[in-house]
């Protein structure tokens, strides 16, 4: 049985594809596509693995791989009463987040990648990495993972084949993608698939390269086993390569969640939201509304929590979207029954936990799981951890970027369209960052072009999802700074041009759940209470809710947004929404960072939007 296959697609006529180890002589027989077989043979010759293991994504296969992983130390089987089907993995402590400074776009010349990407000349990139791959799988197994990104049958669905020497990557990819026969069937006799080669190497940051060759539809990743660096269907294919293809072919790949909001009258509105890494996408995508909303008939359903692919439907002229993934690779710390009960259900079975703390009885813990920490555990670094040690040294039990990998089929509020190849219509687009100062809770752009400007100028405090300093405000356009696979100038232009092919475009909004008062406390309760903001947004999409025009955009007054039952007096809300002249000036100065980076290449529409803002000020 294959997981998360679209039931609408007829079953394969052929027998289920092979799963397991096989000798190289059987390669041509077992790999149904000649282009894939040829490429795999070349990679085998380069990497020289001891064993080949073809995956078909079945549950039975996953159990076999978990058993292997428990035997070789990749996994620890958790207490199966508490965590049925769940396994624990601890990574190398130097390999716990995306490494943006080691991530490259490799093209013939630097102009294609622009000022926000690391560039490597393509031939040099291949040469450098070929040296690293040479013999790197001696004594190891090469797992062959055929997968599809996107609901089966969707016009945008893309096939990839990942070759990896990491068993951890193999099982994670089984959860995160649609794997096996579906991929071979979609590929047919074509050679259009993303060639994904991955080796953990010796997990040495000095020999770590995450290289993308968009012109060859190829990804070469070496030296890291971390999600975004190693699960190549995710950020590498579904964002960097896909954004490049989308720009060429007239569609969009974005770092967005996608959710449905069903109102009491039964009308469902889909919105997509771009927040940077570890800034609330998974939480927002699965939110459980406050009781009075559910009592009234509101319901939130999840299509996706991290990535969307969007295109303009020819007939309606409206934007539609799919989630290319089949699972969630979510931030664990801070997740509990109060903040995100649906995520707790998602990870309750058949999931992988990476870099949380392990208890002696096979249970797990993380900061924010419960008020009471365990008396003793082994932390993400494999060291003894007690609350006392934490007090003395500041050591964390779970790494701040510890993650769960869970099948989206586990989600109790999975949207009924999540597997539908036709996708869902997008009525609203939300941009949001993590901003402790200066940025209000919510406002709406005047129009698409102004919305593109707001997205382009998005600022956010850096998080533990990428290595480097945490808490520094940086410009993260559309939450895509680390994921645009080409020149950001062309990316902005692509966003503006999309308007021309839409008959009716989504309304655009800006939110910030993270504003703090002078005591460093969050001014907005967040999580489920974000429903109140979402309701205003949904109503605005249908031309219903009230707002007043301000310098920055359309803003709700206290009376326009439902604060009933929140213990938030109107003055507190106005404070949360207010932006002083000085705050706005400092924000405009902060945007300068991006203008300087693009130097003379910032599209003139963006310069015009800034001039308009300054003149309003």
Measured from the CB of residue 282, what is the shortest distance to ligand SPV in angstroms? Answer: 8
Calpha distance 182→62 (Å, rounded): 17
Residue 453 token pair: 């400007």
**Token reading at 427:** 């009525």
Q: Minimal distance in Å, beta carbon 226 to ligand SPV?
A: 6
**Residue 227 near which of Mn ion, ligand SPV, ligand GTP, none (CB within 5-8 Å, type-dependent):** ligand SPV
Q: Determine the size of the site formed for Mn ion (CB under 5 A).
A: 2
Whether 390 contacts 374, CB under 8 Å: no
- Phi-psi category of 527—alpha, beta or left, where left has phi over 0 and alpha has psi -120 to 50? left
Site string for ligand GTP, 440-469 (x = CB under 6 A): -------------------------x----
Return the range that interacts with ligand SPV (CB under 6 A); candidates 151-159, 205-213, 228-236, 451-459.
228-236
According to the binding rule CB under 6 A, does residue 341 interact with ligand GTP?
no
The one segment of 82-90, 298-306, 392-400, 559-567 that binds Mn ion by CB under 5 A: 298-306
Nearest distance in Å: CB 569, ligand SPV: 36
The length of the chain is 617
Listed in sequence order, the DSSP H helices in 502-557 are 530-541
Which whole-number Å values give the CA distances from 19 to 259, 323, 351, in the listed order?
A: 35, 27, 21
Interface stretch with ligand GTP, choices 142-150, 328-336, 453-461, 496-504 (CB under 6 A): 328-336
275 near ligand SPV, rule: CB under 6 A: no
User: Of 17, 116, 282, 609, which lies in the binding site for ligand GTP, with binding defined by CB under 6 A?
Assistant: 282
C-beta closer to ligand SPV: residue 52 or 102: 102
Contact 309, 246 (CB under 8 A): yes
- CA-based end-to-end distance of the chain: 61
Among 300, 331, 439, 454, binds ligand GTP (CB under 6 A): 331
Residue 100 sits in the site that holds Mn ion (CB under 5 A): no
Q: Which of residues 302-341 bind Mn ion (CB under 5 A)?
A: 306
Neighbours of 547 (CB within 10 A): 18
The residues that bridge with 54 in the sheet, in sequence order, are: 20, 144
Name residues contacting Mn ion, limited to 248-277 (CB under 5 A). Answer: 277
Residue entry with tokens 């896909």? 242
Q: Which two tokens stand for residue 437?
A: 């100062």
DSSP 429-484: EEEE---SSS--SEEE-SSHHHHHHHHHT-EEE--TTBSS-SS-EEE-GGG-TTT-
Residue nearest to ligand GTP (CB): 526
Instruction: Annotate each residue in 530-559 with x if it binds ligand GTP (CB under 6 A) or - if it does not, as one string.
Output: x-----------------------------
User: Going residue by residue from 465 to 494, which x/- string records binding to ligand SPV, judged by CB under 6 A?
Assistant: x-----------------------------
Alpha-helical segments (H) within 190-250: 227-230, 242-249
Q: Is 329 in the site for ligand SPV (CB under 6 A)?
A: yes
Q: Is 235 in the site for ligand SPV (CB under 6 A)?
A: yes
Q: How many residues bind ligand GTP (CB under 6 A)?
A: 22
Contact stretch for ligand SPV (CB under 6 A) within 227-235, 383-391, 468-476, 582-590: 227-235
- If binding is defined by CB under 5 A, does position 95 make contact with Mn ion? no
- Interface pick for ligand GTP out of 92, 294, 339, 550 (rule CB under 6 A): 339
Query: Closest-CB residue for Mn ion?
Result: 306
Task: Give the ranges where 155-302 is alpha helix by DSSP (H).
Answer: 167-176, 181-187, 227-230, 242-249, 281-285, 291-296
How far apart are alpha carbons 208 and 202 in whole angstroms?
A: 9
3 state SS of 319? strand
Task: Build a one-symbol-per-residue string for 478-517: x at contacts with ligand GTP by CB under 6 A, - elsewhere.
Answer: -----------------------------------xx---
**Rounded distance between C-alpha atoms, residue 501 and residue 506, angstroms:** 13
Question: Which CB, 161 or 356, lies closer to ligand GTP?
Answer: 356
Q: What is the nearest approach in angstroms of Mn ion to the Cβ of residue 329?
A: 8
Please tell me whether residue 226 binds ligand GTP under the rule CB under 6 A.
Answer: no
Interacting residue with ligand GTP among 142, 210, 278, 322 (CB under 6 A)? 278
Nearer to ligand GTP, 58 or 463 (CB): 463
Contact between 279 and ligand GTP (CB under 6 A)?
yes
Does 279 qualify as catalytic in the annotation? yes
Whether 399 and 380 have beta carbons less than 8 Å apart is answered as: yes
306 binds ligand SPV (CB under 6 A): yes
- CB atoms inside a 10 Å sphere around CB 155: 11
Residues 175/209, Cβ–Cβ less than 8 Å: no
* DSSP three-state, residue 122: helix
C-alpha dihedral sign at 55, 62, 94, 165: negative
- Would you state the structure tokens that stand for residue 599, as one six-digit string? 């130097």
Give 98 or 489: the residue with its C-beta nearer to ligand SPV: 98
Residue reference for tokens 């579904």: 238
Structure tokens at 323: 């989630």
Q: Work out whether 526 is an interface residue with ligand GTP (CB under 6 A).
A: yes
282 contact, one of ligand SPV, ligand GTP, Mn ion, none, CB 5-8 Å limit per kind: ligand GTP
Token output for 561: 């947004």
Q: Residue from 198, 212, 281, 610 that binds ligand GTP (CB under 6 A)? A: 281
Residues forming beta bridges with residue 486, ordered by sequence position: none
Using CA atoms, how far residue 358 sits from 372, 383, 391, in Å, is 15, 10, 19
Residue 231 or 547: the one with the smaller Cβ distance to ligand SPV is 231
- The residue from 211, 279, 346, 505 that is catalytic is 279
Q: What span, in angstroms and rounded, lies between the C-alpha atoms of 601 and 539?
A: 37
What's the rounded Cα separation, in Å, for the pair 440 and 459? Answer: 12
Which residues in this chain contact Mn ion in the complex, by CB under 5 A? 277, 306
Sites of contact with ligand GTP (CB under 6 A): 275, 277-283, 305-306, 330-331, 333-334, 339, 465, 513-514, 522, 526-527, 530
Q: Annotated active-site positions, please?
A: 279
Residues that bind ligand SPV (CB under 6 A): 98, 227-228, 234-235, 277, 306, 329, 465
């Amino acid at each position: 049985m294959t997981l998360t296959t679209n039931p609408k697609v007829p079953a394969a006529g052929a027998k289920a594809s092979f799963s397991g180890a096989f000798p190289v002589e059987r390669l041509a027989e077992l790999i149904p596509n000649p282009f894939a077989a040829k490429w795999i043979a070349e990679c085998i010759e380069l990497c020289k693995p001891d064993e080949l293991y073809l995956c078909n994504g079945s549950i039975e296969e996953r159990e076999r791989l978990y058993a292997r992983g428990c035997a070789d130390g990749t996994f620890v089987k958790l207490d199966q009463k508490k965590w049925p089907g769940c396994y624990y993995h601890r990574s190398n402590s130097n390999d716990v987040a995306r490494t943006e400074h080691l991530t490259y776009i490799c093209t013939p010349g630097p102009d294609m990648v622009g000022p926000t990407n690391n560039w490597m000349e393509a031939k040099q990139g291949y040469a450098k990495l070929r040296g690293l791959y040479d013999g790197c799988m001696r004594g190891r197994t090469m797992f062959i993972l055929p997968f599809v990104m996107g609901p089966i049958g969707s016009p945008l669905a893309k096939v990839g084949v990942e070759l990896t020497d990491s068993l951890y990557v193999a099982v994670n990819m089984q959860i995160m993608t649609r794997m096996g026969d579906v991929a071979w069937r979609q590929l047919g006799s074509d050679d259009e698939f993303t060639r994904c080669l991955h080796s953990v190497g010796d997990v040495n940051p000095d020999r770590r390269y995450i290289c993308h060759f968009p012109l060859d539809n190829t990804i070469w990743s070496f030296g890291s086993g971390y999600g975004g660096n190693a699960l190549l269907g995710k950020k590498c294919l579904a964002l960097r390569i896909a954004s490049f293809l989308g720009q060429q072919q007239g569609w969009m790949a974005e770092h967005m969640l996608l959710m449905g909001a069903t109102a009491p009258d039964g009308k469902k509105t889909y919105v997509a939201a771009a927040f940077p890494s570890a800034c609330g996408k998974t939480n927002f995508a699965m939110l459980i509304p406050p009781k009075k909303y559910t009592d009234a008939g509101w319901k939130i359903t999840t299509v996706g929590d991290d990535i969307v692919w969007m295109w303009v439907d020819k007939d309606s002229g409206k934007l539609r979207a799919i989630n290319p993934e089949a699972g969630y690779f979510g931030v664990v710390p801070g997740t509990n029954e109060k903040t995100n009960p649906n995520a707790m259900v998602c990870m309750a079975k058949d999931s992988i936990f990476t870099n949380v703390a392990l208890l002696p009885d096979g249970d797990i813990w993380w900061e924010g799981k419960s008020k009471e920490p365990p008396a003793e555990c082994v932390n993400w670094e494999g060291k003894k951890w007690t609350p006392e040690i934490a007090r003395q040294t500041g050591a964390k039990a779970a790494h701040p970027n510890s993650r769960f990998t869970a099948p989206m089929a586990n989600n109790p509020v999975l949207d009924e369209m999540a597997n539908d190849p036709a996708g869902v219509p997008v009525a609203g687009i939300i941009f949001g960052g993590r901003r402790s100062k200066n940025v209000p809770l919510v406002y709406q752009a005047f129009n698409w072009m102004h919305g593109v400007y707001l997205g382009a100028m998005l600022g956010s405090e850096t998080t533990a999802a990428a290595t480097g300093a945490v808490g520094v405000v940086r410009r993260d356009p559309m939450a895509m700074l680390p994921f645009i696979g080409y020149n950001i100038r062309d990316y902005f232009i692509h966003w503006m041009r999309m308007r021309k092919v839409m008959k009716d475009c989504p309304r655009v909004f800006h939110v910030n759940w993270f504003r703090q008062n002078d005591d460093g406390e969050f001014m907005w309760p967040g999580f489920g209470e974000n429903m109140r903001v979402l309701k205003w947004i949904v109503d605005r999409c249908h031309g219903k809710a009230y707002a007043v025009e301000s310098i920055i955009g359309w803003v709700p007054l206290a009376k326009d947004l439902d604060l009933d039952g929140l213990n938030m007096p109107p003055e507190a809300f106005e404070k949360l929404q207010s932006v002083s002249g000085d705050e706005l000036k400092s924000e405009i100065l902060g945007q300068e960072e991006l203008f300087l980076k693009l130097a003379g290449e910032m599209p003139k529409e963006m310069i015009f939007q800034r001039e308009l803002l300054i003149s309003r000020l």
